[in-house]
Amino acid sequence: MKPHDAMVIVGAGQCGARTASALRTNGWEGAIVLLGNEGLAPYDRPPLSKQVLLGERTTAQCTLYDEAFYRDNQIDLRVDAAVTAIDRAERCVRLSNGDSVPYRRLLIATGAEPRRLAVPGAELAGVHLLRAVPDALAIVEELVPGRRIAIVGAGFIGLEIAATAKARGCEVIVIEAAARALMRAVPEVVAGYLVDKHREMGVDVRFAVQVERLVADASGGRVAGVKLSDGTSIDCDAVVVGIGVTPRTALAEAAGIDVADGIAVDDTLRTNDPHIFAAGDVCSFPHRLFRRRIRLECWKNAEDHAKVVARNMLEYGETYSAVPWFWSNQYDMTIQIAGIPAFGTNTVTRDAGKSSKLFFALDGDNVLVGASGVGKMAEIAKDVRIAQELIAQCSRIEPRLLEDPATKLRSLMSAEAT
């Protein structure tokens, strides 16, 4: 490999692996180096909080590609290559073993890091985060029927684990410091609908209360309870913390790359260094539909970013403007979200079947900015997909039309675009 001839990707997660594949698909015949530090080949993370915890899927079955894929596509995958620095002047990355890898173009796809609970007792055994395979395997060991599991955080990860733990026969308590669930993700009415389902299934969900400390058992080494800010205490056998993530920007910051709620990129996913790109959970980017800089933490965004950034590393100059899409499975419900409902100022509810509902988020001008479907897949998936198209064309729609199940969403495709 000649100096500066390689496409180098830091972060062997979903976005990094998909980008490596897309580089080949788009005709790049030079070297590709994919650097990871988990000791595992790239794998799909969403099943960790769902099928893996339920015992329906092994972690090995979450692998994105087999060994033959990397060999046949001549992708130099290194799973124990910790990157310690980016040397922009020399256009190379430095590894912890002393090696350096020169790059033609560099992609930073380092993802995000789970936030840790900053209270006394947070380091006790039996306290878990969920982001990687070892985390999932450790949590699986805790989900024994009859055990009491305390979950800190009522975001999607916390609620998914709550549903999974309940399905495994555990007693579950969810503790959330905010006044409601999913504060940054969906409107209050949507969050309330999901929380009602959890309570119906027997989950104890508590809001507006903070964890003061985690209490150790008699040995002093393992968690046995949670002391709350309202003075109450909860006995438990394990604690799972799901209080959000922070983008892994340390490498970029140390290299003088601009950061703004993640690595700051333009709408082609290029940083302030023309040779360096960033994609996936780690970056924030301007989105033309929402007229602001956003950062997304979801599977679909990592997939979509990979396709665009690969082409732009090859100088296609394409802008990224895909409508966000996200899903979650809890109990017998599927939740699908298009756009960014949190940007809405008004939420319109529509019945979508015997046990399903659609929630449409409109801004102050009645422009559709988000849609959430909750219930049976067959009853919500098609309409959420159509809503995604409506969001893409910036459709201004009268709330009464969205509320009326007799109005076919497809008929609104001609709605005024802004």
Tell me the average pLDDT of the chain.
Answer: 95
The string of pLDDT tens digits covering residues 148-198 is: 999 999 999 999 999 999 999 999 999 999 999 998 888 899 999 999 999
The string of pLDDT tens digits covering residues 361-417 is: 999 999 999 999 999 999 999 999 999 999 999 999 999 999 999 999 999 987 665
Confidence (pLDDT) at 415: 60
Same domain, 108 and 184: no
Q: Which of 243, 13, 239 is nearest to 139 (CA)?
A: 239
For the record, the structure tokens of 118 come out as 């900053």
Identity of the residue numbered 384? V
List, in sequence order, every beta strand (DSSP E) within 16-128.
Answer: 32-35, 75-78, 83-87, 92-95, 100-102, 105-108, 112-114, 127-128
Identity of the residue numbered 62? C
State the CATH number of the domain containing residue 11.
Answer: 3.50.50.60
For the record, the structure tokens of 206 come out as 């508590």
Same domain, 225 and 124: yes
Q: Which domain holds residue 351?
A: 332-414
Residues 169 and 190: their CA atoms lie apart, in Å, by: 26
Asked if residue 210 belongs to a domain, the reply is yes
Same domain, 123 and 234: yes
Residue 274 burial (10 A CB sphere; 0-12, 13-18, 19+):
exposed
Same domain, 233 and 251: no
Residue 355 confidence class, pLDDT cut points 50, 70, 90:
confident
User: What domain count does the chain have?
Assistant: 3
Angle at 9 between CA 314 and CA 321, to 5 degrees: 55
Contact 241, 128 (CB under 8 A): yes
CB within 8 A of 320, min separation 6: which ones?
267, 268, 269, 285, 287, 304, 305, 308
Asked if residue 324 belongs to a domain, the reply is no
Same domain, 140 and 103: no
Contact 90, 102 (CB under 8 A): yes
pLDDT tops 90 at residue 53:
yes
Same domain, 132 and 208: yes
Identity of the residue numbered 129? L
The string of pLDDT tens digits covering residues 289-339 is: 999 999 999 999 999 999 999 999 999 999 999 999 999 999 999 999 999
The two beta strands, 148-152 and 127-128, are: unpaired
Residues 251 and 256: their CA atoms lie apart, in Å, by: 9
Same domain, 63 and 155: no
Asked if residue 318 belongs to a domain, the reply is no
Angle at 298 between CA 354 and CA 211, to 5 degrees: 85
For the record, the structure tokens of 13 come out as 């997660």
The string of pLDDT tens digits covering residues 229-252 is: 999 999 999 999 999 999 999 999
pLDDT tops 80 at residue 100:
yes
Same domain, 66 and 169: no
Asked if residue 22 belongs to a domain, the reply is yes
Same domain, 186 and 218: yes
Asked if residue 36 belongs to a domain, the reply is yes
Instruction: Give mean pLDDT, residues 109-119.
Output: 97
Contact 360, 370 (CB under 8 A): yes
